[in-house]
Structure 1
Amino acid sequence: MKILHLLFACLLVISCSQKQKHPYSFYYWKTHLTFNDIEKKALAKANQPFLYTRFFDVDKVNGKFEPVAVITQDKSFKTEKKIVPTVFITNRSFINIQKEEIPFLAEKINDLIKKKTTDYNLKVNQEIQIDCDWTAGTKDDYFEFLKQLKKISQKEITCTLRLHQVKDKNLTGIPPVEKVYLMCYSTSSPLENSDKNSILDLNIMKSYLSKLEEYPVKKIEVALPIYSWGIVTNHLGKHKLINALSAKDLDNPDFKKISDNEIEILKDGFYFGNFLNKGFKIKVEEISQEQLNSATEFLDKKISTYNIIYYQLDGKFVEGRKF
């Protein structure tokens, strides 16, 4: 009997310690659709049948809606995955929007998605994902837009969900969709003086998502970051970003190491495509596998099942990672 109890206890410990595996795929967020060999291999290994591909952005310029950075395609962009068209819309596009402009916007977005799908012979899924950092002041018009887009496109409409929209759901409202994609990144601004990792600070994420299990949407998927960048600080304390920098990029005889992820420039020159002066500092922010594991361990307690979409599919971000 004691042996049976011991065996049961061992099995319980093993089952509790096993990390839950989640099907995963990627966001693709480049304007020119092209794959290198590293990206092709990473995508082929992904065990979810979709690739979430940004088609274009929408902004309001001089009172008119404008598509921005519309995709073009290279012949190397071939995949068996189904493409999920994803469109980013600025929140200001919905500020003071007229009621009659909402179906107009939905129709134009749907038309451009269809045109790009046809132009590049893309195999798309029956889903359109909208990415917008809506606020309490724009929620009603944004939610109406989602309804109109569903009616016009006759497709499933999904949307992204930011951390503050979970925490402040009574103010920002619940979008009229059955599935949302929770963006577990951009936990703070990289342009502020802070010792936090602005891409993903686990304490901030946990604070904002403390009541995630109460969020009243049928299905929640999770977007996790694998990208990195460098934050350049000049003599006046002003900041700028250089995308896709990693700690190993800081190994340079013209740099003085301040810490493992921060350096000071010793001589004026061109670095990473930018002219930077002596005395400027560069701090790299990137996401380790341990951080991703800690994030999913927390989310596993809040959501019973979910898929992961990593942001984003880029050779520099996927090389060497074990998903």
Structure 2
Amino acid sequence: MKLFRYVFLFIFLVSCSPKENHSYTFYYWKTKLSLNQGEKKTLDQVTFPYLYTRFFDIDKIDGKFQPVGVITKDKSFETQKQIVPTVFITNRTFLYIKKEEITFLAKNISDLIQKKVSEFDLKTNNEIQIDCDWTAGTKDDYFKFLKELQKVSGREVTCTLRLHQVKDKNQTGIPPVKKVYLMCYSTSSPLENSDKNSILDVNTLKSYLSKVDEYPIRQIEVALPIYSWGIVTNYLGKHKLINALSKNDLQNPNFKMISENEAEIRKDGFYFGNYLNKGFRIKIEEISDQQLEDVVDFLQKKIPHFNIIYYQLDNKFVTDQNFTL
């Protein structure tokens, strides 16, 4: 009887323990640095002192490393948050890369970041985040690059971590960084014929992250999606994406609803900046508060403490959104 009381008391205390409040901020992923009033208001309310800001992409084009979409800035981009320079690098950049090219790439990325920081008078912290969907075939050279970038920049280098890189860590390896950012989205391809939400399917995520508590890098931050899009399918079953659409956009007299989040076009015309034919279908994928809560509840059992970075800061996605999880 006494044992029963102890067990009951333990369950009661656990069930009544307060839920952890996670500090949060955003990714800023536009080519032009600018903030409207809604975005400024949202940013002023965040509880984490950083804004993870994309500076440029790196790709290998005709055998040469090229910066793509380097940021510009207008006077509306004013914030007290510290900027974390973030660079996306394509996986093919590291295919067949030579040792001297790794050094060249690291130095040029560091120099271009510093040039933009100085040019735009940005207040940064001491971190550079690299976003790359590396694979088993590129891991060795990518990891060498991360070490070299830290050496030449003098900053702490961190990197993103995709779901498959957790699940298949024995094949894809463990990056030589102290902190990673777990990208809890893109659970499948939006161009597949599937009933699942390709941005975030919680059951798929749980499957990939079932052993994330065994990941050897203990400092893990969590990136969560708040974006949406429409997937257009034509007569041949080919797909294309239209960003930032929501279910409200399907309320059109020229559309016939065929499910809660999918419509068929009844009349040829321009819709959302695209010419779409009668018979095309538009499926909306967006993220609910419940999905985000389910992910956070799951991860709290796996990761001791984490901050949340929402992707992304855009007035289309932050209006009337609850960010306290």
TM-score range, shorter-chain basis?
over 0.9
Q: Secondary structure at the match of 1:284?
A: strand
Map 1:228-267 to 2 at 5 A. Answer: 228-267=228-267
Q: Deviations over 1:43-90 (max 9, x none)?
A: 111000000000000000000000000000011000000000000000
Q: Would the alpha carbon gap of residues 176 and 9 (structure 1) be closer, same or farther in structure 2, given more than 3 Å must change?
A: closer
> Percent same amino acid among aligned pairs?
70
Q: Secondary structure at the match of 1:205?
A: helix
Give the aligned CA root-mean-square deviation in angstroms.
1.7
Letter in 1 for 2:257: K
C-alpha distance in structure 2 between counterparts of 1:123 and 1:60, whole Å: 30
C-alpha distance in structure 2 between counterparts of 1:41 and 1:214, whole Å: 38
Map 1:167-316 to 2 at 5 A. Answer: 167-316=167-316
C-alpha distance in structure 2 between counterparts of 1:13 and 1:23, whole Å: 22
Q: Partner residue of 2:81? A: 81
Q: Deviations over 1:154-176 (max 9, x none)?
A: 11000000000000000000000
Q: Secondary structure at the match of 1:294?
A: helix
How far is 1:23 from its partner?
0.4
C-alpha distance in structure 2 between counterparts of 1:307 and 1:10, whole Å: 27
Q: Partner residue of 1:12? A: 13
Map 1:8-157 to 2 at 5 A. Answer: 12=13, 15-16=16-17, 18-157=18-157
C-alpha distance in structure 1 between counterparts of 2:22 and 2:272, whole Å: 35
When normalised by structure 1's length, the TM-score is: 0.96
Question: Unmatched 5+ residue regions in structure 1?
Answer: none
Letter in 1 for 2:13: L
Question: Unmatched 5+ residue regions in structure 2?
Answer: none
How far is 1:9 from its partner?
7.4
How far is 1:197 from its partner?
0.2
Letter in 2 for 1:144: K
C-alpha distance in structure 2 between counterparts of 1:147 and 1:155, whole Å: 11
How far is 1:14 from its partner?
5.4
Q: Would the alpha carbon gap of residues 266 and 14 (structure 1) be closer, same or farther in structure 2, given more than 3 Å must change?
A: same
Q: Would the alpha carbon gap of residues 299 and 80 (structure 1) be closer, same or farther in structure 2, given more than 3 Å must change?
A: same
Letter in 1 for 2:312: Q
C-alpha distance in structure 2 between counterparts of 1:283 and 1:134, whole Å: 30
Q: Secondary structure at the match of 2:99?
A: coil
C-alpha distance in structure 2 between counterparts of 1:254 and 1:19, whole Å: 46
C-alpha distance in structure 2 between counterparts of 1:303 and 1:40, whole Å: 31
Q: Deviations over 1:73-124 (max 9, x none)?
A: 0110000000000000000000000111001000000000001001110001
Q: Secondary structure at the match of 1:188?
A: coil
How far is 1:11 from its partner?
6.2
Q: Deviations over 1:170-217 (max 9, x none)?
A: 000000000000000000000000000000001110000000000001
Q: Secondary structure at the match of 1:100?
A: helix
How far is 1:19 from its partner?
3.0
C-alpha distance in structure 1 between counterparts of 2:295 and 2:242, whole Å: 25
C-alpha distance in structure 1 between counterparts of 2:10 and 2:190, whole Å: 46
Q: How many residues align?
A: 320
How far is 1:218 from its partner?
3.1
Q: Secondary structure at the match of 1:313?
A: coil
C-alpha distance in structure 1 between counterparts of 2:273 and 2:248, whole Å: 17
How far is 1:322 from its partner?
1.3
Q: Deviations over 1:205-259 (max 9, x none)?
A: 0000000000001300000000000000001000000000001111100000111
C-alpha distance in structure 2 between counterparts of 1:322 and 1:163, whole Å: 25
C-alpha distance in structure 1 between counterparts of 2:283 and 2:265, whole Å: 11
C-alpha distance in structure 1 between counterparts of 2:147 and 2:90, whole Å: 18
Q: Secondary structure at the match of 1:78?
A: coil
Structure 1 stretches (4+) deviating beyond 3 angstroms?
Answer: 7-11
